Each structure stands twice: as structure tokens, then as C-alpha cells.
Structure 1
Amino acid sequence: MAIASQPNSWRESDGQWVTSTAIARLGPTPYLHTNAVHVSVGIEGIELDANGNLVVRREYPQGAQIAFCVAEEDESLAKLGVQAGCSGGSAVTTIYLYRGGVRVRADDPMFGPNANLWLMWLSFIPPAAPPVE
């Protein structure tokens, strides 16, 4: 039996799942990459914070709870040995980049013109009833 930090377990059919997706193009001016074959869903914007971390603002329904956030490197980032991780997962998520354990700015020129970071969030909107025990 799994032990949770708080009783917050639901049946999948009890509520509604909400998915958000984004493609962040890194490099000198990071941006939300969309075109005829790249789609972003539920994303309000991407910006850099003062430390060069990627900050993603997304639509986040009231009462939603984050199940997970994934930041996946494309082949160009993998070749550079860059790893990404999400912090937060509600309306604002900060994406941290590391290379060899050292923080890397999302606007670092080493990324060139075509480095993509694939982002996905899965959130759950529970019903008004108490969770399953």
C-alpha cells in the first residue's frame, strides 16, 4: 500500500483530466514554438526569469491538482548532455536546465537555432466529494 503525504487519492472516473503541452525553442531568444506541425495547448506564455530559467505560464482550472510535469530534451539537447526538470506545475512552472550538474541558461547560444524542449503537464480536477480512502 502506498503512503501519501495527504489523503488525496481519486478514482480516474471521479473527475476530469486536463493536459497542457508546449514546445519551447531554446537559444538566444527562447520562445513558444508553434507552426503547422508543432502545437501548444493551454499555454499562455513563455519567458525567462532573471537567472535565465524558463518560466511557463499556463491555463490552470480552479481546483485542479497537478499529477505530473515532464520536460523532455530533443536530440540536439541530448547531444549536448543537457537535462531539464520542472519545478511547480500549477499556473506557473519553472524549467531548470543543467549540463554536468551545472545550471545552464535557456538563452545560452550553445543551443543554436533548433533546440526544442518538449513539455507536458497532466492535471486532475477532482469532484466536490471527498477522496476515496
Structure 2
Amino acid sequence: MTITLDRPLSTDIGEMLHDRHREAVEQHAAQIREIEASRRSVQDVGDVVDLGSRAAETSETDMVAEALHQQVLRLEAAIARHEAGGFGVCASCDGEIPAGRLEIMPWATHCVPCGQSADRRR
């Protein structure tokens, strides 16, 4: 079953997923470029304080890059579910995932009640 959003969007769901995926890939690539530039500039560090500051910035940038990478993977999975006809169907109860949830988190695999149950088990 494929879910359609209640409110009209400027594009269909598949296009929205591909657009969000492209944006996430671009953001991830920009973050990787920033990491590489930061690592190259470590050679220009003046003192220990500068080195510590750059290490903290690099760590934060690495975490952002990893989060963006995970978002890319979740969007790829959402695209695959959409193409297979299972987008918008809860993986636990086979119920409909609300359109509002899918607009905010298109990678959602659970309806709100099942998602909350899964969160409590973690």
C-alpha cells in the first residue's frame, strides 16, 4: 500500500524523497570537504591551544558528517520502500503512518504508537 499525503505538495512523494536525498548527499559532501580542509590545515597549527581547538572542531564536524551519512542511508531506504509500494506503511502493525509524520521524517518506518513503543524498549 502506498500512502498519499493529505495536503497537496508541489511535487509527488517520489520527487520529494529524491530531492531530500540529493540535498542530504550535497550537505554530506560539503561536510566531508570541510573535514578534509581542516585536516590539511592541522599542519599550520601555531600552539597547543590551537591544536586542541581544531581537534574539538574536527570531532564536531565528524559527528555532523556521520549524522548526514545516516540521513542519506535512511532516505535511500525510504526511496526503496516507495518504489516497492511500501512507503507509509508501519513496519510493526501494517497501519498507515500519518502524512504529517512522513513530511517531517520521510524515513519513518513506524506509526507514532509503534515508534514510541520501540523507543521505550531501547
For normalisation by structure 2, the TM-score amounts to: 0.24
| Higher helix fraction (1 or 2) | 2
Larger Rg: 2
TM-score by length of 1: 0.22
User: Which has more strand, going by share of residues?
Assistant: 1
Higher relative contact order (CA 8 A, sep 6+): 1
